Each structure stands twice: as C-alpha cells, then as structure tokens.
Amino acid sequence: MSEEVSEGKKITLLGATEIRQIAEQLGVVPSKSLGQNFVHDSNICEKIVRLAGITSKDRVVEIGPGLGSLSLSIARTGAHLIAVEIDDRLAKRLPQTLRDHGVSDRAFTVIVKDAMELTAEELAGSDPGERSIKVVANLPYNVSVPVLIHLLEMERIESAMVMVQSEVARRLAAKPGSKEYGVPSAKVAWYADATLSDSIPRAVFWPVPRVDSSLLQLRVHRPIAGSEDRRLTFEIIDAAFNQRRKMLRGSLSRLLTERAPDRGVEEFLERAGIDPTARAESISVEGFLSIARAIRASEH
C-alpha cells in the first residue's frame, strides 16, 4: 500500500475490503438516489488527485466524500480537505477513517450538508482568499450539473477535476456547433474552460454502475461579465435551448417581446450581432451575453 508522510505520520489509503467493512459497520447499503457508487481502487483516487495538480498549498473541496477513499488521496498531498457530505452516517464516520489512516485533525473539515446549500463562507473557511480553492470529487450522478454550477457561481473556485457520467462530461465540455452543446455547456463556459479527461472503468466502483464515467477538468477563467448580465444571459440560454430546433427569432420571440416590446425580434437580434435564423446550438456564451446586453441597453 502506498504511503505519504504528513506531519510525521504516514497516510495510508483505503482498500476494497476495508471499504466494505466500514459500510457494513455503518449498516450502509449504497443508495441509488444519493448516487452512492464508491470507488474501491486507490490507484484511481491517486490518479484523479495527480491529474488535478493538487499541492500542499491548496484548499480542496470534495463533494460527497462517501467512505473516504478519494478524501485520503487528497489528504496525502498535504492540502486542506473540506468534505461536504449529505449522508450524516457517512459524514459522522469520515473523521475516524481519516484519523485511522494518519490524517491530522487540523488537515480536514467535514460539513454535513447538501452541496446545493453550501455557502461561499463555508468554502473559504477560516482562510479567506489565502489559498486557492480546488474541487476534486466523484460527484453524485443525479445532481452533478447543478452542484457544479452552484460551486462555480460562488466565484471562489480556481479549478475542478470531477468524475461524472461520461455523457454528462461530453455535454459539459461540448463547444458551439456540436450536437452535445446545450444548456450545461453554455452555462459552465460562462465560468470555465471545460476539457474531457480520462474515462474511468466501471469495475472501480462498488456497486458497479450501469453507466460509464469520465473525468472532466474545469479551469476557471475571469468572469466574462457581472451577475446582472449573467442572470439574463442564463434566462436566454434556457429559452433558446428549450426549443433548440427553432431559429432564435422563434425560440427567443416570447422573451424578447416581453423584455423589449417596442423592438422587432429580428431587428433586435441583428443589433446584438446575432443572425436571427441561427439556432441555439451555434451560439457561444459570449453571443448569448451580447443578446442580454442588447436587451438591458434597450431598457435604459
């Protein structure tokens, strides 16, 4: 078993047998609705942390630490771990698992909470602004996209390396013009450059899921505009993709006539520099932003 020395202690990783034992002690039967597919292959955890480029200077937020396999790999780097877990049986047990494997109490914080309710203050902890915050997680499948967008919206994250369903990873990394480009791709592009990374074999999970998983890397860039513009841009993205086969002059007609009644829809889109006959799938997030800005300019 691989070992790393932290504060004079060796941090060891979780093996498959121990994972089952802890689950059994806790009486945990993996819940489908909470997306509980635990990784029981420590090589994969090490690989995720390596690809994420975690160093001892980082604060790392892990959404859904579960039984702690990925958490231990994060802790081995010397980074401060903030683990956010909704299942209180797992959250209560995690400190003991971390301690048993050589992680010092000062090196981690466990928050028992739905990640959708996590606040910017909790992300920053007692160390606001000092360290870069990175996300490393094997995200629960059913909430992976809203959780990612919620974390990005707080504007405290520098980067993320997350494991998600492969189909979701492809959609999040899709660029305008591709069939997979849609609402999540455009919204994530507001905050970050998304790149598809390695695919993960199903056999590393317990229980084995029915879908394939992949790693997705996000590198957060400077905000492309403020939150007022963002709110309206996201409304436009939702409306445009809600009728993705329609030309924008059709899919956005209701929103545009409500927000800017004295303008013709086509004239309005042209003023924003957007072809009214284009469809949502060919418009970049900057294109959607220019529509939002044209609307806001007409309201002043």
Q: Does 90 bind ligand SAM (CB under 6 A)?
A: yes
Query: Which one, 151 or 220, has the nearer CB to ligand SAM?
Result: 151
* Closest separation in Å from C-beta 187 to ligand SAM: 18
Instruction: Kindly state the DSSP code that residue 292 receives in the 8-state scheme.
Output: H
Q: Does 115 bind ligand SAM (CB under 6 A)?
A: yes
Q: Does 64 bind ligand SAM (CB under 6 A)?
A: yes
Which of 42, 138, 165, 253 binds ligand SAM (CB under 6 A)? It is 138
Q: Does 239 bind ligand SAM (CB under 6 A)?
A: no
Tokens representing 146? 């809203």
Can you list the alpha helix ranges (DSSP code H) found in the chain? 16-26, 42-52, 69-76, 88-100, 120-124, 144-153, 166-173, 183-191, 227-242, 248-251, 253-259, 265-271, 285-299
Q: Does 36 bind ligand SAM (CB under 6 A)?
A: yes
The residue with its CB nearest to ligand SAM is 64
Q: Pairing between strand 9-12 and 205-206?
A: unpaired
Tokens representing 32? 């489908």
Q: Does 88 bind ligand SAM (CB under 6 A)?
A: no
Alpha-carbon gap, residue 115 to 62, rounded angstroms: 10
Q: Does 75 bind ligand SAM (CB under 6 A)?
A: no
Q: Does 69 bind ligand SAM (CB under 6 A)?
A: yes
Query: Which one, 109 or 282, has the nearer CB to ligand SAM?
Result: 109
Bridge partner residues of 281 (DSSP):
none
Which of 143, 164, 204, 294 binds ligand SAM (CB under 6 A)? It is 143
Alpha-carbon gap, residue 181 to 179, rounded angstroms: 6
Query: Which one, 154 or 224, has the nearer CB to ligand SAM?
Result: 154
Q: Does 203 bind ligand SAM (CB under 6 A)?
A: no
Q: Does 63 bind ligand SAM (CB under 6 A)?
A: yes
Q: Length of the chain in residues, anyone? A: 300
Nearest to 221 by CA among 175, 190, 196, 186: 190
Alpha-carbon gap, residue 178 to 186, rounded angstroms: 12
Q: Does 66 bind ligand SAM (CB under 6 A)?
A: yes
Q: What is the largest CA-CA distance in the chain?
A: 71
- Provide the binding-site residues for ligand SAM, judged by CB under 6 A: 34-39, 63-67, 69-70, 84-87, 90, 114-116, 138, 140, 143
